[in-house]
Amino acid sequence: MDILELLYRRRSIRKYQDRPVSNDTLELLLKAAACAPTASNNQPWEFVVVNDKDIMDNLRKGLYFGQYNAAAAIVVCANMDLAPKGPYKEYWIQDCSAATENIIIAASGLGLGTVWIGAYPNKAAVKNIQKALAIPEEVIPLSVVYTGYAAEEKEPRTQYNPKRVYWNQYDSERKHRARNKNLKHI
């Protein structure tokens, strides 16, 4: 499949078939995750793969915005003992986001559905995930990728908006500058 078509087809799936995802397939997703770039090639990530039904149920309970029936999940974490020290510490967020995106794109290419459930910086979600999966305090879950075989279809699309794009220099005076509809601008 053409790479752009693959990107257009990736959509968040929130209804899943009652069909397991094989360990081999989950491992392919982990390999895709580990193709992601990381700052200074630091790779601060660790992954918790969940495919046990009871543990999935426990994980799901702690995710207020993750009440979906996926068969499996990959929890993308950063181990703070592996993250850079000092001012570059926060790069772990970008590193783990890149890994998360790789997982969901690869899953889409392999015919699986996914939805990215945000964990960090939601303190309650982080705590609940750590508790459900026995993750120690220094290992911070950034995202939970639910995965399984889709039981819903979504239209391929891009949300490309030229109003969000500037070429070479930002133009604060531009008349058709995008506005957040919920915010008042003066």
Ligand X SMILES: Cc1cc2nc3c(=O)[nH]c(=O)nc-3n(C[C@H](O)[C@H](O)[C@H](O)COP(=O)(O)O)c2cc1C
Q: Which x/- pattern over 44-83 shows residues binding ligand X (rule: CB under 6 A)?
A: ---------------------xx-----------------
What is the token pair recorded at 3?
A: 């790479």
Distance of CA 15 to the CA centre of its chain: 17
Q: Give yes or no for a contact between 64 and 78, defined as CB atoms under 8 angstroms apart.
A: no
Closer Cβ to ligand X, 11 or 60, answer by number: 11
Sole window of 24-32, 80-88, 113-121, 166-174 interacting with ligand X (rule: CB under 6 A): 113-121
Q: Which residues contact 50 (CB under 8 A, 6 or more apart)?
A: 56, 59, 72, 73, 74, 75, 133
Asked whether position 12 contacts ligand X by CB under 6 A, the answer is: yes
Q: Which of residues 114-173 bind ligand X (CB under 6 A)?
A: 115-118
Nearer to ligand X, 65 or 166 (CB): 65
Task: Kindly indicate which of the ranges 10-18, 40-48, 79-87, 133-141 contains the residues binding ligand X, using the contact rule CB under 6 A.
Answer: 10-18
- Distance (Å) of CA 57 to CA 25, 74, 129, 142, 174: 21, 14, 11, 19, 49
User: Which residues are near ligand X by CB under 6 A?
Assistant: 11-12, 14, 65-66, 115-118
